[in-house]
Amino acid sequence: MTDINFAAIGINHAHIYGQVECLKRAGARFVAFHAVEDDLAKTFGEKFPEARRVADPKEILEDASIAIITTAAIPADRAAISIAAMQHGKDVLSDKPGMTTFAQLDEIKRVQKETGRIYGVLYSEHFEVRATVEAGNLIAQGAIGKVINTVGLGPHAIRLNQRPEWFYNRQRYGGILCDIASHQFEQFLFFSDAMDAEVVSASVANRAHPDKPGLQDVGDVHLKSANTSGYIRVDWFTPDGLPTWGDGRLTILGTEGYIELRKYIDIAGRPGENHLFIVNKEGPRHIDCSGVDLPFGRQFLDDVRNRTQTAMPQERCFNAMKLALTAQQLAERGTEWAQ
């Protein structure tokens, strides 16, 4: 069903490829994109030849046939793009982080409420990871009882020679907790079945990259909701010998069992991605989640058509970023990054 056209404005992070594929897989039609950078546009255009490159984003914003704008611009620039899109009657699907300051979050919330548009963030470590989706399915079925704690680990490979300069500029990428830990904040809220939570403690540091003073290469957070507690650690210390960009993990403790996800690799030797381990009254078992359905894209398009909130409640979308910004601010107190 190709009744929905979408376009991209800002393609600085490679997540944009996943965002486009998510919407295309669900049946939307990719028609146009705007990118300032010729090198990025060349590769992107070769991957998606059906979409025309436009020189001025106004051409996209003022095109009434385009319903959705997706963006993976430099993080500090995403809010302005999203706000302009909503003010032009478009729904938004942003890369994470959706914004880098509380002022941007407040303005996005104001414009979203004023326009009635949908503002979504594609938290890919949840919505584009089949093991994470299956964990949600199992928990909904009561497989581990009531969730009481989560531990989310988001290690990444830094690959210094492949990163643009904005990647090391704290004001441009927003800080490590705002940026990559936003995935884990959203998952904590989802698996806790909560709309909001409290940041108990947070820290960030640059432990091993003195030549890149704007980089935060490790960060961690403790948080809690009414019925759950959680821990998050994110870092840029994936060893060179790991054959993928990061050993992303999530452990979910329930009152009657627990689930551990090895999202991108099983270092014990099982091939492929999307490994789920569950231990409950039936015993321990491994589930290969490579065939699990990913419903987010279809749900998002249904929300666009029907003005509903099935893909992700708007409040949870905003609060995941509020928690990330809160943790970032708390972690930076007394550091060289403090605002």
The tens digit of pLDDT for each residue in 131-150 reads: 999 999 999 999 999 999 99
Are 253 and 266 contacting, i.e. CB atoms less than 8 angstroms apart?
no
The tens digit of pLDDT for each residue in 298-330 reads: 999 999 999 999 999 999 999 999 999 999 999
Of the pLDDT bands very low, low, confident and very high (cuts 50, 70, 90), residue 2 is low
Give me the pLDDT at residue 336, please.
84
User: Chain-wide mean pLDDT for the chain?
Assistant: 97
Mean pLDDT over residues 246-264, rounded? 98
Give me the pLDDT at residue 203, please.
98
Give me the pLDDT at residue 335, please.
87
Are 163 and 286 contacting, i.e. CB atoms less than 8 angstroms apart?
no
Of the pLDDT bands very low, low, confident and very high (cuts 50, 70, 90), residue 98 is very high
Using a 10 angstrom Cβ sphere, with 0-12 exposed, 13-18 middle and 19 or more buried, the burial of residue 286 is middle
| Alpha carbon distance 69, 91 (integer Å) | 6
Closest CA to 94 of 312, 310, 326, 328: 312
Categorise residue 171: left if φ over 0, alpha if ψ from -120 to 50, beta otherwise.
Answer: alpha
Q: How many CB atoms lie within 10 A of CB 145?
A: 15
Query: What distances in angstroms separate CA 136 from CA 31, 140, 224, 282, 286, one per listed residue?
Result: 33, 6, 19, 18, 16
Mean pLDDT over residues 15-43, rounded? 98
Mean pLDDT over residues 31-53, rounded? 98
Of the pLDDT bands very low, low, confident and very high (cuts 50, 70, 90), residue 241 is very high
Mean pLDDT over residues 204-224, rounded? 97
Query: Which tokens is 149 given?
Result: 């704690």
Using the predicted structure, report yes or no on whether residue 1 has a pLDDT greater than 70.
no
The tens digit of pLDDT for each residue in 223-235 reads: 999 999 999 999 9
The span from the first CA to the last CA of the chain, in angstroms, equals 47
Mean pLDDT over residues 18-27, rounded? 98
Give me the pLDDT at residue 160, please.
66
The tens digit of pLDDT for each residue in 170-184 reads: 999 999 999 999 999
| Alpha carbon distance 116, 253 (integer Å) | 37
Mean pLDDT over residues 260-284, rounded? 97
| Alpha carbon distance 176, 170 (integer Å) | 9
Query: Which tokens is 192 given?
Result: 């806790």
What is the identity of the amino acid at 273? E
| Alpha carbon distance 40, 3 (integer Å) | 28
Edge-to-edge strand list for the sheet holding 229-235: 198-205, 218-224, 229-235, 147-155, 249-254, 257-262, 275-280, 283-288
The tens digit of pLDDT for each residue in 154-170 reads: 999 998 678 999 999 99
Of the pLDDT bands very low, low, confident and very high (cuts 50, 70, 90), residue 267 is very high
Q: What is the pTM of this model?
A: 0.97
**Phi–psi pair at 16, nearest 5 degrees:** -60, -30
Greatest Cα pair distance in the chain? 59
Using the predicted structure, report yes or no on whether residue 206 has a pLDDT greater than 90.
yes
